[in-house]
Amino acid sequence: KAGVTQTPRYLIKTRGQQVTLSCSPISGHRSVSWYQQTPGQGLQFLFEYFSETQRNKGNFPGRFSGRQFSNSRSEMNVSTLELGDSALYLCASSSGGGAGELFFGEGSRLTVL
Amino acid sequence: AQKVTQAQTEISVVEKEDVTLDCVYETRDTTYYLFWYKQPPSGELVFLIRRNSFDEQNEISGRYSWNFQKSTSSFNFTITASQVVDSAVYFCALSGPGGGSNYKLTFGKGTLLTVNP
């Protein structure tokens, strides 16, 4: 079965712009989580959605937002981009029940100039 | 707050050597879950194992084995007879007791394992 698909894989933006990243979970999975990975901070949890509701949120400013659609696909948006937002953004999906085994996509690599 | 420490930043071994990756965690939860993930150069995190806090049995899966010791808050990972394909960054992670907190993983900084032929 198809894995987690993230688009775009690579993108370059300039400071002040905004960006939207997309994640299609594994078919049947209802939970989607987002993580930011940087060399300095490592992997950090952004937020998690289950059945279109945000269940958990990490410690990121309000410029980082997300949503989940009825088909479980999810998007995250970062507004007013800063240089420090350059990172690999990873999406993970799970069935949503019990202790989560997360299946990760290959990520979207964002470079902010 | 939860915390995961992987003290080994980089490890380099020669093929067929055994290697152990250390993981120490901190949490106030009595129920929690521990994970190991592998990240090859492609970037995708590959799930290796999940352990709940009530199951301290060691586990072996082929060349991989895990040693969970609640008394020392450690969850170490051993690769026996390492191979070049094992070269990757390995992450240890911790999550909370239930509901949405299951999916909020706290990751360690990772250990870069290089297996040389």
pLDDT in tens, B3-45: 999 999 999 999 999 999 999 999 998 889 899 999 998 888 9
Q: What is the pLDDT of residue A96?
A: 65
* Per-residue pLDDT band at B104 (split at 50, 70, 90): confident
* CB A36, CB A21: distance < 8 Å: no
Selected residue with higher pLDDT from B43 and A23: A23
Chain A nearest-CA distance from B94, in A, is 11
Half-sphere exposure of B78 (CA within 13 A, CB side): 12
The answer on pLDDT for A5 being more than 80 is yes
Convert the pLDDT of each residue in A48-83 to its tens digit: 999 899 988 999 999 999 999 999 999 999 999 999
The DSSP output letter for A63 is T
C-alpha dist (Å) from residue B44 to A8, A10, A17, A104, B88? 14, 14, 26, 6, 11
- Lookup result for tokens 């010791």: B69
Give the integer Cα–Cα distance in Å for B77 and B15.
17
- Residues of chain B in contact with residue A90, where contact means CB-CB under 8 angstroms, are 43, 45
- How many CA atoms are closer than 13 Å to the CA of B7, on its beta-carbon side? 8
Of A42, A90, A94, the CB nearest to B103: A94
